[in-house]
Amino acid sequence: MTRTNDRPHPSRTKPVIAVFGAYGHTARFVTAELLKRGWTPVLSGRDAAKLEAAVAGLPGVETRVASVDTPASLDRAIAGAAAVINCAGPFGDTSPPLIEAALRAGIHYLDVTGETLVAADTFDTYRNDPRVKEAGIVVAPAMAFYGALGDLLATAAMGDWAAADALSVAVALDSWHPTRGTLLAGRRRAGRRVVFSDHRLRVLAGDEPPPQGEWTFAEPFGRQDVVGQFSTTDVITISQHLDTARIDTFLNTAPLKDLGDPETQGPRAADADGRSSQVFLVEVVVRRGSEERRASARGRDIYAVTAPIVVEAAEWILTGRTRATGVVTAGEVFDAEDFLRALPLDGLSLGGEG
Ligand SMILES: NC(=O)c1ccc[n+]([C@@H]2O[C@H](COP(=O)([O-])OP(=O)(O)OC[C@H]3O[C@@H](n4cnc5c(N)ncnc54)[C@H](OP(=O)(O)O)[C@@H]3O)[C@@H](O)[C@H]2O)c1
């Protein structure tokens, strides 16, 4: 079923971008970002009533009901679009059918998965799939806070180094009120952690506790207790293209109590754009022998910032600012420093030598 809320907005002249899972929390930021930049979003998802509610107050925005169980409905959902942004998670259910639909239509595919195992599967399954090359499309999983930001910072920090001995990504959050999608994804992961050491990815079972330690962050966080092996999609994206023997990931322990709170209500809007007050800081350190290079980014609301990341990526892909097509990461195909500077961050530090 296709519905148009009103007549198309005359100022929207750029191509259509389909948003799947369009009434979710992150997708609403994505739609707002597309509209702000003059793209024409078409909103798609499995529930007609939720879709209609999502376009209330968005004149001219079209909705198309579609299910991942019905390929023809996905074909209709993305018909006429130049790219599809998949925001429907858990992504194990949605990424494969949406990528197949994008391949049939010959359009670019981006998603915002934070699920390491799903992102790894996407690279494993499609990296060498000749259909991706033949279609000349970009398939970009994990184009989000987790998956793109750490990868871009790591790429910028590496600079002209061809290889590093070790790379660390440390994330500090002052709080983390997770969405339903994040909680469901966490349940699917069931404690499993993806680690990268000795040049290879391994999946650890959930029964061994992760390592604990301390990390001294820049302000406003300072010294924090951290948990290691904090398995994020950064491990997957970075290991796809940067040559390092190991990747260590850390999260400060302070927000873990929010994540485990069964009464969580999700992120609470604290400004006119709907962003929560959550503050994040991502620090990347790369080491080669006794040398060290650093890069970091500070900003607000990991869900909200995902929208400018994935929309910026779609925009760069659709305007030819990519180094390659195929299954790619942000750091691999974009100019990392330029891309990072284009994001609405509150602080960005690049290329510091330690
Ligand atoms: N990597 C990152 O940094 C990052 C950033 C933001 C979000 N994410 C991830 O993105 C996902 C969505 O997050 P969110 O914050 O938007 O969560 P959310 O508010 O719970 O929204 C999830 C959306 O996905 C839809 N969905 C789930 N399974 C579906 C399926 N099988 N078919 C069709 N639609 C389906 C839901 O529709 P129904 O209501 O019909 O179930 C809903 O619209 C989560 O997994 C989250 O962890 C990752």
CATH 3.40.50.720 fits 2-140, yes or no: yes
Full pLDDT tens readout for the chain, 354 residues: 555 554 444 445 689 999 999 999 999 999 999 999 999 999 999 999 999 999 998 999 999 999 999 999 999 999 999 999 999 999 999 999 999 999 999 999 999 999 999 999 999 999 999 999 999 999 999 999 999 999 999 999 999 999 999 999 999 999 999 998 888 888 888 888 999 999 999 999 988 889 999 999 999 999 999 999 998 999 999 999 999 999 999 999 999 888 777 677 789 999 999 999 999 999 999 999 999 999 999 999 999 999 999 999 999 999 999 999 999 999 999 999 999 999 999 999 997 665
Distance 199 CA to ligand 1 centre (A): 31
In this structure, the residues whose C-beta lies within 6 A of any atom of ligand 1 are: 21, 23-27, 45-47, 50, 68, 87-90, 93-94, 112-114, 142, 144-147, 179-182, 185, 233, 302-303, 306
For 79-198, where are the alpha helices, taking DSSP H only? Answer: 95-105, 116-126, 130-135, 150-158, 180-189
Cβ distance 91 to 111 under 8 Å?
yes
pLDDT of res. 2: 54
Residue nearest to atom 25 of ligand 1 (CA): 88
Distance 139 CA to ligand 1 centre (A): 19
Q: Tell me which of 182, 184, 235, 329 to substitute to probe ligand 1's pocket, judged by most ligand atoms within 8 Å of the beta carbon.
A: 182
What type of residue is 48? A
Question: What is the CATH code for 145-302+341-353?
Answer: 3.30.360.10
Look up tokens 């990424």; give the residue. Answer: 95
Phi, psi of 23 (to 5 degrees): -100, 10
pLDDT of res. 14: 84
Question: Which atom of ligand 1 approaches the CA of 27 most closely?
Answer: 16
Sign for the CA dihedral angle at 325, 304, 297, 195 comes to negative
Cβ distance 175 to 275 under 8 Å?
no
Question: Which atom of ligand 1 approaches the CA of 47 most closely?
Answer: 40
Look up tokens 């349940």; give the residue. Answer: 187
pLDDT of res. 164: 98
pLDDT of res. 223: 98
Q: Tell me which of 44, 52, 87 to substitute to probe ligand 1's pocket, judged by most ligand atoms within 8 Å of the beta carbon.
A: 87
Q: Tell me which of 23, 26, 113, 264 to substitute to probe ligand 1's pocket, judged by most ligand atoms within 8 Å of the beta carbon.
A: 26
Distance 183 CA to ligand 1 centre (A): 10
Determine the distance from the C-alpha atom of residue 92 to the mean position of all C-alpha atoms in its chain, rounded to a whole number: 15
What type of residue is 148? A
pLDDT of res. 229: 93
Distance 68 CA to ligand 1 centre (A): 13
Residue 209 contacts by C-beta under 8 Å, 6 or more apart in sequence? none
Going from N- to C-terminal start, the domains of the chain cover 2-140, 145-302+341-353
pTM exceeds cut of 0.85: yes
Look up tokens 């260590």; give the residue. Answer: 248
